[in-house]
Structure 1
Amino acid sequence: MLTFDIEEWFHANYDDVKPDLSQPSHFRSNMDTLLRICRETGCKATFFVLGYIGEHFPDVVRAIAQEGHDVASHGYAHELAYKQTIQEFKADVKKSVDILEDITGSKVLGYRAPSWSIVESNLHYLEALEELGMKYDASIFPVKTFLYGIPTAPTEIHRPKVNGRELNLYEVPMSVMKLSGKNMGYSGGFYFRFFPKFFIKQVIRSANRQGKSSIVYLHPREVNVNEAKLILPRKEHFIHYYNIGGTEAKLEDILKSFNFTSISEHLKHNFKLEV
């Protein structure tokens, strides 16, 4: 499955970091790049779009839908879900969904939290997604980092249980591999930029041999070395910007090497998802 988190270069969740908004944005150019690569490789994707992006770039959202991709929700303004009350969370998601559905004329089926911010403490927020009519969530990363993750979460697509009740939506967790007995990402964001191309392909093929799919995720800013940048501490800067110069070519090569589709199409064909 191919996914993109559609946000501006300054949408991040680092405390005390204020972006210099006088810097020019290359968002439209970055989106042209992503859509071109999808078009030329014949891949379909799920684009998790911020409501903010829908308000400021409705033509880009329409282009995504017109090219046959899924438009799903990434919330409204890239706020961490675990820093919101459940009422704030539900209102935030609904606001984004209303904006996106108004632009595309199609129902929004899925959601991904900014910075994977559905964690153990707010897992019950999935009930709010169910109430909003979402068919799937793709917010859980079965790892543990300083910012996100549920390391004990299931690594397969499943219907999550909250308060002892199985929800009427699917959880589509991010792909992980085992390294020294621990889960680690390999196919998205920093992991996609850090690991060499041959290694990512090898792990995807290994997963495929076991009957499993892999999920790729990237952001528009990750395909343009000239995009504006946040001023971050050394570790965060490394995570956020390492090897951006090589991402576009790596993405294009990997998409040519496998058959990628959107999350909703995968669920329709393999889990009989009805919409």
Structure 2
Amino acid sequence: MTSPTSLHPSAPGTGVTNMLTFDIEEWFHANYDDVVPDRSKGSGFRSHMDKLLELCSETGSKATFFVLGYIGEHYPDVVRAIAREGHDVASHGYAHELAYKQTIDVFKADVKKSVDILEELTGTKIIGYRAPSWSIVESNLHYLEALEELGMKYDASIFPVKTFLYGIPTAPTEIHKPRVNGRTLGLYEVPMSVMKLGGRNIGYSGGFYFRFFPRFVVKQAIRSANRQGNSSIVYLHPREIDEKEHKLDLPMKESFIHYYNVRGTYAKLENVLRSFRFTSISDHLKRHYGLET
């Protein structure tokens, strides 16, 4: 049997462990105002989750699963399986609503609803959150205070890029405790990984970016970050490993972003997980930042 060390070689001279995350939602969970998906079609969600959990087990990888409260209600056995396998269960909100389109009270209630569902299923305290579609931006950065009030120990919602849907391009790219309204919060911000391309921050290790860039580019970017002593964060959605999953009827640009190269995603993920060490966000914070839970 291959040992964990030989299975997950780090970049030369580093020993850095990276972070693996999944946003757990159905194929129809998206944020396009004019798109009304036919939810009666069903989905391959259960098989996707079985496949992801099996891959994590085979590669010795631990992950943080950001789970919608909706998923907890409809697939409680899946959430229990995630926890049983020793992975972190964290909140992705309840129904995949954009945080910056919610009032702070609605946002807080939405997160709490999801947390209550997930804690009941797992029997453990939920300490992490990621906003749907990276929807913590400059205009609602103060929503992090609501997460702090709910007892969250970390947030992973900020993408230090700028797109038509999300991003804070000037945000710190390293893990930090953010300052909001003149004070430093008690939770950690774990921003998504970026690389410099043409003088601008761009993602490389999750979602569209993971699917768009060739495998060697993704792996080289992870190695480069590791050589500098930095961890990379990989993130994907269950739908991204199955080209046969139902698809939303989207305009050309949005469809390209949502579905480009889904066919090759699982093989690329498997290769990356076998090439580097991966752990959950909470484990990383405990080991390197002294997080207490």
- TM-score bucket (shorter structure): over 0.9
2:210 counterpart of 1:192: yes
Which secondary structure does the structure 1 equivalent of 2:286 belong to? helix
Counterpart CA distance in 2 for 1:211 and 1:93 is 33
State the 1:23 CA deviation: 1.6
In the alignment, which residue of structure 2 is the partner of 1:126?
144
- Tell me the residue number matched to 2:8: none
Work out whether 1:116 is the aligned partner of 2:164: no
Q: Distance in 2 between matches of 1:128 and 1:204?
A: 33
For 2:266, give the aligned amino acid.
E
Q: Shift of residue 24 of structure 1? A: 2.4
Q: Does structure 1 residue 217 correspond to structure 2 residue 243?
A: no
Q: List per-residue Cα deviations over 1:16-70 (Å, max 9, x = no partner).
A: 1010223221100110111011010000000000000000000000000000000
> Where does the alignment leave 5 or more consecutive residues of structure 2 unmatched?
1-18
Please tell me whether residue 66 in structure 1 is matched to residue 84 in structure 2.
yes
Structure 1 equivalent of residue 166 of structure 2? 148
Match of 2:100 among 74, 82, 107: 82
Paired with 1:202 and 1:133, the residues of 2 have a C-alpha distance of 37
Runs of 5+ unmatched residues, structure 1:
none
Q: 1:115 is matched by which residue type in structure 2? A: S
* Correspondence 1:28-107 to 2 at 5 A: 28-107=46-125
Q: Provide the C-alpha distance between the structure 1 equivalents of 2:139 and 2:175, rounded to a whole number of angstroms.
A: 20
Aligned pair partner of 1:180 in 176, 188, 198:
198
Q: Equivalents in 1 of 2:41, 2:206: separation in Å? A: 26
Which residue of 268, 272, 284 corresponds with 1:266? 284
Write the deviation string for residues 150-208 of structure 1: whole angstroms up to 9, x where unpaired.
Answer: 00000000000001100000000000000010000000000000001111000000000
Q: In structure 2, what is the equivalent of residue 252 of structure 1?
A: 270
Distance (Å, rounded) in 2 between the aligned partners of 1:249 and 1:56: 28
Determine the structure 1 residue equivalent to 2:10: none
Write out the 4+ residue segments of structure 1 that deviate beyond 2 Å after TM superposition: none
Any idea what SS the aligned residue of 2:108 has? helix
TM-score, with normalisation over the residues of structure 2? 0.93
1-structure distance, mates of 2:240, 2:218: 17
Q: Per-residue deviation at 1:15?
A: 1.4
- Report the secondary structure of 2:279's partner residue: coil
Structure 2 match to 1:208: 226
State the match for 1:170 in structure 2. Answer: 188
SS in structure 2 of the partner of residue 22 of structure 1: helix
Matched, 1:27 2:38: no
Which whole-Å CA distance do the structure 1 matches of 2:38 and 2:116 have between them?
Answer: 29
How many Å apart are 1:123 and its aligned residue? 0.1
Aligned to 1:159: 177
The 3-state SS of whatever aligns with 2:229 is coil
Higher relative contact order (CA 8 A, sep 6+): 2
* Equivalent in the alignment of 2:24: 6
| Bigger mean CA deviation after superposition, 18-27 or 164-173 | 18-27
Picking from 240, 245, 249, the partner of 1:227 is 245
Q: How many residues align?
A: 275
Return the letter of the residue paired with 1:23.
K
* Inter-partner Cα distance in structure 2 for 1:109 and 1:224: 30
CA RMSD of aligned residues (A): 0.4
How many Å separate the matches in 2 of 1:96 and 1:131? 15
Cα distance in 2 between the residues matched to 1:113 and 1:40: 29
1:263 maps to a residue whose letter is I
**Partner secondary structure for residue 17 of structure 1:** coil
**What one-letter code is carried by the residue in structure 2 that aligns with 1:262?**
S
Deviation at 1:90, TM superposition (A): 0.3
Q: Which amino acid aligns with 1:176?
A: V
Give the residue type in structure 2 aligned to 1:177. Answer: M
